[in-house]
Amino acid sequence: MKITMIGTGYVGLVSGACFSDFGHHVTCVDTDAAKIAALERGEMPIFEPGLAELVERNVRGGRLGFTTDLVRGVADAEAIFIAVGTPSRRGDGHADLSHVFAATRDIARALVKPAVIVTKSTVPVGTGDEVERILRDEAPDAEAWVVSNPEFLREGAAIEDFKRPDRIVVGTDNDSAAEIMREVYRPLYLNKAPLVFTSRRTAELIKYAANAFLATKITFINEIADLCEAVDADVQDVARGIGLDQRIGGKFLHAGPGYGGSCFPKDTLALLKTAEDFQAPLRIVEAVVKVNDSRKRAMGRKIIQALGGDARGRTVALLGLTFKPNTDDMRDAPSLAIVQALLDAGARVRAYDPEGMDQARPLMRDVEFASGPYEAAEEADAVVLVTEWDVFRALDLKRLASRMAQPIFVDLRNVYPTEDLLEAGFSWHGIGRGGNPQAVQMRDPHGETVPQAARSAVRQRNET
């Protein structure tokens, strides 16, 4: 099939490259001439594992091309995907649909044959109706059907998610459009990916509901982590204990500094605005948004408390800046709020991230950037693990501690076992792990209090 992808951002580029890898002929269109020129040179505008190789292979095979000429890009297409950005509208939280509607008008003027117009962008309920209205106004004689086909790609694992999806949601009531969409996704039939056909408005809502539910799971376990610290329980054991229940599942139950990125923050806000417009308030989602925003700021206070309550003149090394590993995406990353809190408290901040520093520099102008984790820790008063990149999972902890002015380790992702950090000489602070282990005590079989550092020995005695 011939497919056109309008927009070469995260969703458009990954989707276009994957479709071409299935054997479809794909043209990616973007108004940004510099971006198109870079893509033609094989330079990726985003970091996504495997994407550069995927694009190069399909460009070389003649199945994938790039252009700024929408008329040429649309001319022979049987399926035209709109994959432009829908950021939160400044001031009110509604999704900004200006790029979606502009793309629709351009498509309407370029249509020369029957085609499905597919909204791949994340859009509020009813957007497809407006896209259809614009098409009818701009090209009343055109034979085109508007379909909703939301994406469910995780940054850092997008290619795998596209090629082996949990489900494919298609929103249309038109038989001709449904048949074209079946053909678009026919290569995935071998993987037995569920193809879910529903109404257009339902498909639009599925995307928002899915992201809101995942954001809720993250926020729930983060609040449970706070309770764990208060009662001296272990959130990782709690998460495993509840996650083994198949009705709950273990994914998205990892306590941390709060969610960020390009989807959850803006999509939860947009869903709330839709609910408000239709007078169907979503109180749980409202709470999720508020708790997540406050959590990011609370992480800054947690680091300051680890420093004894005063960060003025102290050096804090941050390991990881992006909102998650395997991406260079800094949008709504928890590190932004953490850095601001530390700077406001008078701290000096030094940071290292394997892929995100170019994106972070314009957002963190008062931060010193290091060439690696050990360089970031040089003479630092505390090291904070913010993003769980693989490169941070097997650090030489003794080497790290030896380079620091004070060996304080704040693990906001619970990557390291307590015993390993204590053995390396660190004062350790984690998430939902009973607070500061040096301050938490327990009783041995004889009723005596025992420091956290000796807990493993007490447990061994109890077991023998």
Q: What band does 93 get if pLDDT is binned at 50, 70 and 90?
A: confident
What is the pLDDT at residue 92? 84
pLDDT, one tens digit per residue, over 217-265 is 999 999 999 999 999 999 999 999 999 999 999 999 999 999 999 999 9
Catalytic center residues: 263
Q: Is residue 446 part of a domain?
A: no
Mean pLDDT value across residues 80-103: 93
Q: Is residue 441 part of a domain?
A: no
Q: What band does 193 get if pLDDT is binned at 50, 70 and 90?
A: confident
The model carries a pTM of 0.90
Site of tokens 């594992």:
49
The average confidence (pLDDT) of the chain is 92
More confident residue, 192 or 279: 279
Among 143, 165, 198, the domain boundary falls at 198
Identify the CATH number of the domain in which residue 425 sits.
Answer: 3.40.50.720
Residue 445 in this model has a pLDDT that exceeds 80: no
What is the pLDDT at residue 191? 73
Beta bridge partners of 168: 195
Residue 129 in this model has a pLDDT that exceeds 80: yes
Are residues 243 and 380 both part of a single domain? yes
Are residues 193 and 218 both part of a single domain? no
Q: What band does 89 get if pLDDT is binned at 50, 70 and 90?
A: confident
How many structural domains comprise the chain? 2
What is the pLDDT at residue 190? 75
CA 318/CA 368 separation, integer angstroms: 10
Q: Is residue 250 part of a domain?
A: yes
Are residues 372 and 404 both part of a single domain? yes
pLDDT, one tens digit per residue, over 383-435 is 999 999 999 999 999 999 999 999 999 999 999 999 999 999 999 999 999 74
Are residues 246 and 170 both part of a single domain? no
Q: What percent of the chain has pLDDT over 70?
A: 94
Among 154, 173, 198, the domain boundary falls at 198
Q: Is residue 9 part of a domain?
A: yes
Are residues 181 and 285 both part of a single domain? no
Domain range for 18 is 2-198
Are residues 266 and 388 both part of a single domain? yes
Are residues 289 and 410 both part of a single domain? yes
Q: What percent of the chain has pLDDT over 90?
A: 91
Are residues 252 and 401 both part of a single domain? yes
Q: Look at residues 164, 146, 145, 144 and name the one whose alpha carbon lies nearest to residue 154.
A: 164
Are residues 148 and 274 both part of a single domain? no
Are residues 190 and 302 both part of a single domain? no
